[in-house]
Structure 1
Amino acid sequence: MDRLSLNQITTNGWSLPEAVAGCAQAGVGWISLWRDKVAEVGVTAAADMVRRNGLQVSSLCRGGFLTGVAPDGSDVDGIADTAVAIEEAARLGAEVLVLVVGGIAGNDLAGSRQRVADGVGELVPLAARHGVRLGLEPLHPIQCAERSVLSTLDQALDIAEQHPAETVGVIVDEFHVWWDPRVEQAITRAAGRIAGFHVCDQLVPLPDPLLGRGLPGQGPIEHRRLRACVEAAGYRGPIEVEVFNAELWRRPGAEVLAEVISSYAEHVA
């Protein structure tokens, strides 16, 4: 249980002060911060708040959109924004910055993936100077067009392996990779490169490609099998429970966190 981390999106109705206090009161020692929540209080205040409550930051979500395309289809300077996020991560004590790399630019999938590779290469020196690891997170193929042109761990590793492992790794998010027939081989390939392990379940039937997540145990994902795979590949870091679910977001944060802890204990730990 000492590896459990609350990803802030799971209790999205909570402010940062509420989430930090809630984790401290519940005995959860790790938290994954989201930049919009941090911005509400400021980076300095957020870092101080985390330290005063005895928590550690497992990751900062998120940078990326290196293809230059935001989820709503608008143009975005992903390089500049991610550079800011790297500095924020360092100030918050987050060793990992999660990258969602962006959707297709100009209907050119191969070219969009090359933009991601080029963008990562441009950002690596800054990340190395700040001691922040870039975590490439592949997303489910249904989100390829608008959120991530990286759909598998193998595709993320093709880019990560061009750089030092301590600076560029990959995020293993169950929701996005559990379906992949090569997931076990890809996790083995990722040995030394796993920067984060995110757990949740997929709701059946899937109500929404973004918000169709449930707590561990509410769907078909084999959590302990995937956990065994990432541990065999050498990962011993925090395990984030990350659930995008509108119903959870409407409920009291303390109630949701209690269910996070119990579902993690029963189905993951």
Structure 2
Amino acid sequence: MNKNEGMISCAVGCWLVALLGGVLAAMLLMVLGGWTFMQGVFMGVVVFVVAGALLSWIICKPLPAVGEASVDAAKPEEAPRPAAKSTAPAAAASAATTAEPEIKPSTPLPGEADLAARKGEWKYEAEPKADEKPKAKKAAKKPAAKKKAAEPAAAPGEGTKPETLSAAREGGPDNLKEIKGVGPKLEALLHSMGFYHFDQVAGWGADEVAWVDQNLQGFKGRVSRDDWVAQAKILAEGGETEFSKKVGKGDVY
């Protein structure tokens, strides 16, 4: 009988014992415990399965063969032989002679020649420090700052400042937005400079126009460009221009 047949017969015997135990357990529970037939059969099946599995695992567990056990027992005794110490130089010499030679590829690998030619030429360069980067950014912003200062400054003494008012006359200021080229922002700027009425603008001469053109911050040259004086004369006399009519209808602002 070989090893596998012995394990099969052991397992069959264990399950037969478990079956006998399950039948006895079912009968005892039905006779002595007053259980019903179905309850007794269910409990018998449980006992059969559990007992069969435990007995098969405990009793039929394969044991190491006698030859294997003797080999395993002999393994710890296999210590380095004393003779190996005396023959160590000879063993080292023989190992050196019998060592396999270094294996090199017979065919050059792709890019190997190029890599060998460039070897030693690469040089690591450190990245610029973090505190140096803002300096470069500031240098790049300088030309933009120069472009913003493209608006010409008012020449000192150029033109003559017109007469101004500290506040609008009785009845309130005129709607200076009826002059073409004067928007809400420019009207507010004219008020801050002391100009509230059409007749003020209509009375400007060439020197006054030159002064106002140079002192309208952000709107330099608008007085002469849009001919405010001619428009203001018509509006100061109670007349209307094509532009003032559109403003009165609400088509502009």
TM-score (norm 1): 0.16
> More helix per residue: 1 or 2?
2
TM-score (norm 2): 0.17
> More strand per residue: 1 or 2?
1
Considering Cα pairs closer than 8 Å and 6+ residues apart, tell me whether 1 or 2 has the greater RCO: 1
